[in-house]
Structure 1
Amino acid sequence: MEQFMALESLSALAHDTRLDVFRLLIKAGPAGMTAGDIAAALEVRANTLSNNLNILSTAKLVRSAREGRSIRYFAEMETMRGLLAFLMEDCCRGAPELCQPVLDKIICDC
């Protein structure tokens, strides 16, 4: 991951509602959640949620799929994995392979 994308991801997550949305979608796993279910779970207005989902989507932290009249959202775990790898790139005194087991445990193939 390049620094610009890392900054975009971190910026998108640096907001309480967006962080809550992303964490909720991680918990939902591969099934994801509809926008209505996310709004209900977090007690957020639809227009506020829509704006926050757009920001997360632009940062490639979530993706969406239309299901009839609703939209289902999913956490983009590969983007998060890239962000964590970027942040840990120079860890362990220049031996990033020592940190790889940490990355493998943090992000599952959900």
Structure 2
Amino acid sequence: MEKTDAVTALAALAQDNRLDVYRLLVQAGPDGMTAGAIAEALELAPNTLTFHFDRLRMAGLVTVRREGRSMIYAARFETMNALVGFLTENCCGGVSCASAPSSKPARKRSKTPA
């Protein structure tokens, strides 16, 4: 993924409603969801949703297909995988991060009677 594509994708997701739409489409899986079902689930007006779909499509994060009278939107997982790969390609200075020690949560102190 090129830097400009990463910026475009991040910018598209940097808005509450678009992020909610994308996350809902990820949950729906490759079959996607109709625009009406998304509008209902997120309580968004259809004309507002159209604007958000356009931004997500232009960023390559979603696809749309027509089935009869319905528009079906689906997440493009390959784009998100490429974005995550771009963001982490130089992670940990090129050393595998999987072997990094995990931090343990701080222990709570118990109250002792005085």
After TM superposition, the structure 1 = structure 2 runs for residues 90-109 of structure 1, keeping only pairs within 5 Å, are: 90-95=90-95, 98=96
1:9-32 alpha-carbon deviations (Å, 9 max, x no partner): 000000000000000000001221
Identity across the alignment (%): 54
Matched to 1:33, the amino acid is M
Give the aligned partner of residue 43 of structure 2: 43
Give the aligned partner of residue 33 of structure 2: 33
1:69 is the counterpart of 2:69: yes
Q: Unaligned 5+ residue runs, structure 1?
A: 101-110
Task: Please give the alpha-carbon distance, in whole angstroms, between the structure 1 residues aligned to 2:27 and 2:97.
Answer: 24
After TM superposition, the structure 1 = structure 2 runs for residues 76-91 of structure 1, keeping only pairs within 5 Å, are: 76-91=76-91
In our comparison, the structure showing a higher alpha carbon Rg is 2
TM-score normalised to structure 1 length:
0.86
Cα distance, 1:70 vs. partner? Answer: 1.1
TM-score normalised to structure 2 length:
0.83
Give the aligned partner of residue 52 of structure 2: 52
Task: Please give the alpha-carbon distance, in whole angstroms, between the structure 1 residues aligned to 2:15 and 2:72.
Answer: 21
Moved over 2 A (4+): none
1:30-84 alpha-carbon deviations (Å, 9 max, x no partner): 2210000000000000000000000000000000110111100000000000000
Task: Please give the alpha-carbon distance, in whole angstroms, between the structure 2 residues aligned to 1:70 and 1:55.
Answer: 19
RMSD between aligned residues = 1.2
Matched to 1:58, the amino acid is M
Matched to 1:76, the amino acid is R
Give the aligned partner of residue 112 of structure 2: none
Matched residue SS, 2:60: coil
Matched to 1:52, the amino acid is H
